[in-house]
Amino acid sequence: MSMFKVLNLTIILFTYYSANCQQTDRDIDKEKSAAFFKEAEVYKQGAKIQLSLYDSAIFYDPTNHEIYFKKSIWYKKTGRFIESFEILNLAVEYAPQFNLGYRAWSKLYFLRDYDGCIADLERLDTLTPNFIDYPWGECIYYLLGLSYLEKNEFNKAVDFFDKSIADQPDDFYSHHYKGVTLYLLGKYSTALEEFELASKIYPELPDLHYYKSLCYLFLDLKDEAKIEQDLCGLYYTTGHQFTLTFIQPFRTIYQTDIDELMVMLR
């Protein structure tokens, strides 16, 4: 066995022992915890030794929410989603203002738990008064709008998309999903106005033209509907499909939807 493998095995055994022995007469040692945490960050995400180092860091400081957060990410990246959320709940317990947003974001996109997302975001909002939160880089109002859209509470969704747009006027997704929501409410002309605003930001999304085509169709403007259907098909077949890394977008379209739209326009 090589010296490197022996050293790795020794570290794993030591960290496993440290993390699992009872903390009876040992006080919290933030410096040791920080040292293990720093060492863990050296390794590639998902490495087994990294998990052991996180456990050791928690052993010496079981109140550090950042370690629980990183350990939660480790479990998620390795496909162990139940453990990931269990550990994330501990991060929220110790520092809700720092971790509620990510838990809400994860509930929305990974669990499709819209009520859970809304509850976390509303709690976060009360903890950060006079401040607009951006969980995982997305406006809190946009996330609330998506949640209510998927709950089919369309009027609430429109209200939150409006708040999102007020804070970030050039956000394509807020305009697009507000347009989708207005379409679902049967407000086709108003939806088209919102889609026009979205198209000035990103005109190549096939979904945008798909919903515009439907709006024109239900307004009995078939020539305009056909133009939008053609654009939808063009952008879909030239690599502009609506995709997000590791996430299934909401209300996205597929080739079968485009085919059905073509039949409707014959």
Query: Which DSSP category does 28 fall into?
Result: -
Each residue of 31-41: pLDDT tens digit?
A: 999 999 999 99
| Single-letter code of the amino acid located at 246 | F
Q: Which of 125-134, 213-222, 238-247 has the lowest mean pLDDT?
A: 238-247
Domain of 201? 170-266
Burial of 41 (0-12, 13-18, 19+ CB in 10 A): exposed
Q: Does residue 241 belong to any structural domain of this protein?
A: yes
State the total domains in the chain. Answer: 1
Which pLDDT score, from 0 to 100, does residue 2 have? Answer: 52
pLDDT band for position 122 (cuts 50, 70, 90): very high
Q: Is the pLDDT of residue 149 over 70?
A: yes
Residue whose tokens read 């049967």: 186
Q: Does residue 99 belong to any structural domain of this protein?
A: no
Q: Is the pLDDT of residue 183 over 60?
A: yes
Which pLDDT score, from 0 to 100, does residue 177 have? Answer: 98
pLDDT band for position 17 (cuts 50, 70, 90): very low
Cβ atoms 186, 215 nearer than 8 A: no
Rounded distance between C-alpha atoms, residue 266 and residue 263, angstroms:
5
Q: Is the pLDDT of residue 9 over 70?
A: no
Q: Does residue 4 belong to any structural domain of this protein?
A: no
Positive/negative CA dihedral, 164, 168, 174, 178: positive
Which pLDDT score, from 0 to 100, does residue 6 have? Answer: 39
Q: Which of 4-18, 99-113, 175-189 has the lowest mean pLDDT?
A: 4-18
CATH code, domain carrying 209: 1.25.40.10
* E-strand stretches of 5-139: none
Q: Does residue 119 belong to any structural domain of this protein?
A: no
The rounded mean pLDDT for the chain is 91
Which pLDDT score, from 0 to 100, does residue 3 have? Answer: 44
Cβ atoms 103, 119 nearer than 8 A: no
pLDDT-above-90 percentage for the chain: 83
Q: Does residue 57 belong to any structural domain of this protein?
A: no
Cβ atoms 71, 51 nearer than 8 A: yes
Cβ atoms 219, 189 nearer than 8 A: yes
Q: 10-27 in b/e burial notation, b at 16+ Cβ within 10 A?
A: eeeeebeebbeeeeeeee
Q: What is the mean pLDDT of residues 154-182?
A: 98
Nearest Cα residue to 148 out of 102, 108, 101, 111? 108
Q: What is the mean pLDDT of residues 15-28?
A: 52
Q: Does residue 145 belong to any structural domain of this protein?
A: no
pLDDT band for position 10 (cuts 50, 70, 90): very low
Q: Does residue 67 belong to any structural domain of this protein?
A: no
Q: Does residue 181 belong to any structural domain of this protein?
A: yes
The contacts of residue 177 (CB under 8 Å, 6+ apart) are: 142, 145, 146, 149, 157, 161, 250, 251
Q: What is the mean pLDDT of residues 7-12?
A: 46
Which pLDDT score, from 0 to 100, does residue 7 have? Answer: 44
Each residue of 208-234: pLDDT tens digit?
A: 999 999 999 999 999 999 999 999 999
Each residue of 55-92: pLDDT tens digit?
A: 999 999 999 999 999 999 999 989 899 999 999 999 99
